[in-house]
């Protein structure tokens, strides 16, 4: 069983005292996989380096099962690390790469061989112990890197966007492998990624980091069905945004008066609803249905994106690929009350910013 990783009050400043990580609190329960998600430059890899012992924090604490790691050298921490690049030793074969940490710890040769064989079998490379590193594919290299990290039985495994350089199909297979390993070994994993789809696919829990701080944390499904903040909804992409005002259980906006399926704070706010939640109806008698004009449609293979304008607001719907809708058609769009959420505005929204955000839903 993996150990519980806890980070509290973490602050890292590089130049002129400006923090790149500022007051980060993070808990990864033992035996679970947490995705630390955020855009490039938000500080997520910096957090990982502090936990791994590769970087010293300006302030804060890092513990595993309540034991502080501050002052503990990287090689003596109960932590494994898999980086973006495998960083394998080119002069060693696969087996010797995996065994390197065991050899540094003085583990006898016979025991090293047994352990290496176990790890290579676990990552699906049982016959490659004698293979030269230069003969491996990118996916094989990352499997070897995983085996090298796991061979030391870490309490916590850190993964820093390890599959970002792989093609899409191979990334999917590697995600499946990581999830299998996590469950098989009951190890604690902290997986850093900038890809929300990867985070949702892998994690028990997602922690969103923006501008050096934790923006929100929750289940993968929660970020889609009930985003905690407007910034979180925007990062997960594909949301329609409609500014307006909450009064009781209704929302007054340019689309008219819309019913809400969940309580919202009275006053100004932004209604968000995902494209896959919008429905195109043949009539306009269902709740929260508005008349709209189709501006464009795009065939996406598994679905069709329909962009329509209602009340001066651009809305994007994701529909069945064979839906007979074309540019210029008049349609009825329903925003089902149960899928509508109203969030406080992160910044003042005007018509231009609303249109810009809704355009992101087409991607």
* Tens-binned pLDDT, residue by residue, of the chain (363 aa): 689 999 999 999 987 778 999 999 999 999 999 999 999 999 999 999 999 999 999 999 999 999 999 999 999 999 999 998 899 999 999 999 999 999 999 999 999 999 999 999 999 999 999 999 999 999 999 999 999 999 999 999 999 999 888 888 889 999 999 999 999 999 999 999 999 999 999 999 999 999 999 999 999 999 999 999 999 999 998 789 999 999 999 999 999 999 998 889 999 999 999 999 999 998 878 999 999 999 999 999 999 999 999 999 999 999 999 888 999 999 999 999 999 999 998 654 444 334 334 444 444
Among 195, 222, 249, which residue terminates a domain? 222
pLDDT of residue 361: 43
Task: Give the HSE-up count for residue 1: Cα atoms under 13 Å, Cβ half-sphere.
Answer: 6
Q: Which two tokens stand for residue 15?
A: 């130049």
pLDDT for 238 equals: 74
Q: Is the separation of the CB atoms in 106 and 99 below 8 Å?
A: no
The answer to whether residues 271 and 194 belong to one domain is: no
Measured CA to CA, the distance from residue 227 to residue 275 in angstroms comes to 14
Dist. CA 188–CA 4, nearest whole Å: 7
β pairing state of 188-193 and 67-68: unpaired
Do 244 and 217 sit in the same domain of this protein?
Answer: no
Distance separating alpha carbons of residues 95 and 146, to the nearest angstrom: 13
Whether 13 is in a domain gets the answer yes
- Which helix (DSSP H) or strand (DSSP E) does residue 118 occupy? helix 109-122
Give the pLDDT confidence score for residue 346 in this predicted structure: 67
Residues 209 and 63 placed together within one structural domain of the fold: yes
Residue where a domain stops, chosen among 190, 222, 254: 222
- Which stretches within 186-312 are classed as H helix? 196-202, 220-225, 230-235
Q: What is the pLDDT of residues 157-198, one digit of tens each?
A: 999 999 888 888 889 999 999 999 999 999 999 999 999 999
Same domain (yes/no): 20, 141: yes
Q: How many CA atoms lie within 13 A of 260 on its CB side?
A: 23
- Give the model's pLDDT for residue 15: 76
Is residue 319 within 8 A of residue 306, CB to CB? The reply is yes
232, part of any domain: no
Query: Can you give the pLDDT at residue 79?
Result: 96
Residue 282 has a pLDDT of 85
Structural domain tally of the chain?
2
Whether 287 is in a domain gets the answer: yes
The pLDDT value recorded for residue 356 is: 39
If asked whether residues 215 and 320 sit together in one domain, one would say no
- Quote the pLDDT of residue 362: 43
Dig out the tokens for 308 from the structure: 């329509």
My answer on whether 108 and 43 are in the same domain is: yes
Q: How far apart are CA 79 and CA 64, in angstroms?
A: 9
CB 18 within 8 A of CB 41: no
Q: Please indicate, yes or no, if residue 207 is contained in any of the structural domains.
A: yes
The answer on 122 and 46 residing in a single domain is yes
Supply the pLDDT for residue 49: 96
Distance CA(114)–CA(109), nearest Å, equals 9
Domain containing residue 107: CATH number: 3.40.50.300
Quick check: is 228 in a domain?
no
Model pLDDT, residue 290: 96
Cα(82)–Cα(191) distance, rounded to whole angstroms?
10
Same-domain status, 279 and 209:
no
Same domain, 10 and 86: yes
Q: Which domain holds residue 312?
A: 237-360
Does residue 230 sit within a domain?
A: no
Mark which of 188, 222, 256 sits at the end of a domain.
222
- 341 occurs within a structural domain: yes
User: In a 3-state reduction of DSSP, which class is residue 253?
Assistant: strand
What are the φ and ψ backbone dihedral angles of 125, each rounded to 5 degrees?
Answer: -130, 55
Together in a domain, 115 and 254: no
d(CA 303, CA 27): 38
Q: What is the pLDDT of residue 17?
A: 77
Structure tokens at 222: 């929660």
Chain segment 81-116, per-residue pLDDT in tens: 999 889 999 999 999 999 999 999 999 999 999 999
- Domain-located, residue 122: yes
Question: Domain of 324: which CATH number?
Answer: 2.40.50.140
- Same domain for 37 and 153, yes or no, is yes
Distances (CA, A) of 93 to 97, 312, 323: 6, 63, 55
State whether 178 and 258 are in the same domain. no
């Amino acid at each position: 069983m993996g150990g519980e990783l806890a980070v509290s009050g973490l602050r890292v400043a590089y130049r002129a005292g400006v923090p790149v990580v500022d007051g980060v609190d993070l808990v990864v329960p033992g035996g679970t996989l947490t995705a630390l998600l955020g855009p490039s430059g938000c500080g997520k890899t910096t957090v990982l380096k502090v936990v791994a012992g590769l970087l010293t924090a300006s302030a804060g604490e890092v513990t595993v099962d309540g034991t502080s790691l501050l002052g503990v050298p990287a090689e003596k921490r109960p932590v494994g690390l898999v980086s973006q690049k495998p960083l394998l030793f080119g002069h060693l074969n696969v087996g010797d790469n995996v065994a390197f940490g065991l050899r540094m710890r003085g583990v006898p040769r016979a025991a090293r061989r047994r352990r290496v064989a176990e790890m290579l079998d676990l990552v699906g490379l049982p016959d490659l112990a004698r293979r030269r590193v230069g003969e491996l594919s990118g996916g094989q290299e990352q499997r070897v890197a995983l085996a090298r990290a796991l061979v030391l039985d870490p309490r916590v495994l850190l993964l820093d966007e390890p599959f970002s350089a792989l093609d899409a199909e191979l990334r999917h297979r590697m995600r499946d492998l990581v999830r299998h390993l996590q469950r098989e070994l009951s190890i604690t994993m902290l997986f850093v990624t900038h890809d929300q789809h990867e985070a949702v696919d892998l994690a028990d829990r997602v922690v969103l980091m923006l501008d050096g701080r934790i923006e929100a944390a929750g289940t993968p499904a929660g970020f889609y069905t009930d985003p905690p903040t407007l910034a979180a909804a925007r990062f997960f992409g594909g949301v329609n945004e409609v500014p307006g005002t909450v009064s009781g259980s209704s929302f007054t906006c340019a689309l008219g008066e819309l019913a809400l399926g969940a309580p919202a704070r009275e006053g100004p706010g932004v209604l968000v609803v995902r494209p896959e939640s919008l429905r195109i109806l043949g009539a306009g008698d269902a709740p929260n249905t508005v008349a709209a004009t189709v501006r464009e449609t795009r065939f996406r293979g598994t679905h069709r994106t329909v962009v329509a304008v209602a009340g001066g607001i651009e809305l994007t719907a994701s529909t069945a690929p064979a839906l007979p809708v074309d540019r210029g058609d008049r349609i009825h769009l329903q925003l089902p009350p149960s899928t509508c959420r109203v969030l406080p505005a992160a910044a003042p929204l005007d018509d231009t910013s609303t249109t810009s955000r809704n355009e992101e839903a087409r991607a």
